[in-house]
Amino acid sequence: MLAVHDDMITGSGTKLPGGHGMGTATSYPTPSTVSASGASGTASGTPLAACAVQRLRLNNFRNYDSLALDLSAQVVVLSGANGAGKTNLLEALSFLSPGRGLRRARLRDVLRQDAPSADELARDSANGWAVAATVQGTGGAVSLGSSLATTESGTDRRVARQDGQAMAPAGLAQVIGVQWLTPQMDRLFLEGPSSRRRFLDRLVLGLDPEHGRRVGAYERSLRERAKLLAGGVGDPTWLAALEARMAADGVAVAAARREAVAQLQQQLSGASGCFPRAGLAIEGRLEGWLEDYPAVEVESRFTELLQSNRRRDAQHGSTGDGPHRSDLSVRHLGKNTPAAQCSTGEQKALLIAVMLANAKAEAGRRGAAPILLLDEVAAHLDGERRAALFAEILALGGQAWLSGTDRDLFEPLSGQAQFVAVDRGRVIVDG
């Protein structure tokens, strides 16, 4: 499957024959130019605005019964023993963006273990977990929130708010950007394509906030098509309308990925310093077609491919081709080596290089760098690369949250960061 969860979808639109809901008309991403000179300003030289969480409030979230944390720094360092709740704080912040958060957990699993039962939650949504934050963005301070609620049928759902008004979680991407690296991502280049697609789609979302809606619409069509094919070939009229919509969204997804990879490569080509130069490529049938044909023709080709593969896909129970099969290829250009064949340390450095490139590209688009959530990243870097990472973060101009068990690793940030000690669901701001 693709990489963005359904809670990133917004909007409604026309109906397929028989009442099948479809998304709104697809728009293709347009090429853009991003300055490769760094993140100290926009392409026109205008200084970047700060983007930072100034106040964070939690309720019934993981090991936090409640939390009130006020902040005033560009860099926030969370230190404490394993299991203290550092990653939980980062996860809470990740819910200020679309998707399932940095752990990709079920909504119910985020609820504090001794929190009210499902029945109590159904009776009063205040019993669910909640994240609320005051965030400084490009347009000034804004209040954002995410919380757990239930539908009338008892299904868990996520509710997002901006300045007290309910909104689709996908809309959060229009307000601020949030990116993260976690220890679980260390095997990104060794795992299957789905993890890399998920990583890439998160990067694309920062450069194209509509990407989540397109991916979600494509995934829904993908599932609906599989259901229609499950009992045989399915109704041709329904399938034709569904596949046309699926092709439009699928080509838009592929085009957005290609555009994002081009922007990231531009940033990576101009990078220097301790982190290796990375070469990126998106591999997939639609992405390959887009190299040679206009998007409208690729859309027609994909529609024809889906139609010709109906029987085969019905037999296999899945759609054999499309952007849900694409993969992100990464190479260490200095060694001309695939990332999967590099050392563990080199893979980590490549991952950081790509993340920093994305943050700079997003800063150029949005006018403010995304909030970075770096979980246990410093512990896996040597002193030189650790210092380089700190310097890159400070130059970027956005807010970064770093976690680690060893506070001493972050000593070079003294006087430039706010240090927060975390201990079993409690926090102490000590600098």
- Please give the Cα distance from 222 to 266 (Å, whole number): 33
**pLDDT of res. 273:** 81
Phi-psi domain of 144 (left: phi exceeds 0; alpha: psi -120 through 50; beta: other): beta
Q: Are residues 170 and 244 in the same domain?
A: no
Above 80 in pLDDT, residue 348?
Answer: yes
Q: Are residues 144 and 230 in the same domain?
A: no
Instruction: Choose one of 290, 324, 341: the last residue of a domain.
Output: 341
Q: Are residues 294 and 393 in the same domain?
A: no
**pLDDT of res. 44:** 38
**pLDDT of res. 139:** 81
Above 90 in pLDDT, residue 309?
Answer: yes
**pLDDT of res. 156:** 92
What's the rounded mean pLDDT across residues 115-120? Answer: 57
The residue type found at 20 is H
- Domain count of the fold of the chain: 2
Residue 364 lies in a domain: no
Residue 347 lies in a domain: no
- Cα end-to-end span (Å), the chain: 44
**pLDDT of res. 33:** 38
Residue 41 lies in a domain: no
**C-alpha gyration radius of the chain:** 22
> By three-state DSSP, how is residue 234 classified?
coil
**Could you tell me what percent of the chain has a pLDDT over 90?**
74
Above 80 in pLDDT, residue 42?
Answer: no
**pLDDT of res. 47:** 42
- Please give the Cα distance from 414 to 401 (Å, whole number): 14
Above 60 in pLDDT, residue 376?
Answer: yes
**pLDDT of res. 29:** 60
Q: Are residues 114 and 228 in the same domain?
A: no
**pLDDT of res. 71:** 93
Percent helix, strand and coil across the chain, each rounded to 5? Answer: 45, 20, 35
pTM of the model: 0.87
Above 60 in pLDDT, residue 31?
Answer: no
Q: What are 179-198's pLDDT values in tens digits?
A: 999 999 999 999 999 999 99
Tokens linked to 268: 């990576």
Q: Are residues 16 and 125 in the same domain?
A: no
Phi-psi domain of 407 (left: phi exceeds 0; alpha: psi -120 through 50; beta: other): alpha
CATH number of domain containing 414: 3.40.50.300
Q: Are residues 53 and 148 in the same domain?
A: yes
- Please give the Cα distance from 272 to 294 (Å, whole number): 35
CA distances (Å), 289 to each of 168, 240, 321, 342, in order? Answer: 33, 21, 13, 30
Q: Which of 138-142, 181-185, 244-248, 336-340 has the lowest mean pLDDT?
A: 138-142
Q: Residue 56: which domain range?
A: 48-189+369-431
Residue 24 lies in a domain: yes
Q: Are residues 286 and 321 in the same domain?
A: yes
CATH number of domain containing 279: 1.20.1050.90
Q: What are 278-308's pLDDT values in tens digits?
A: 999 999 999 999 999 999 999 999 999 999 9
Residue 40 lies in a domain: no
Q: Are residues 134 and 239 in the same domain?
A: no
Q: What is the mean pLDDT of the chain?
A: 87
Q: Are residues 226 and 206 in the same domain?
A: yes
- Please give the Cα distance from 38 to 361 (Å, whole number): 9
Q: What are 48-67's pLDDT values in tens digits?
A: 456 899 999 999 999 999 99
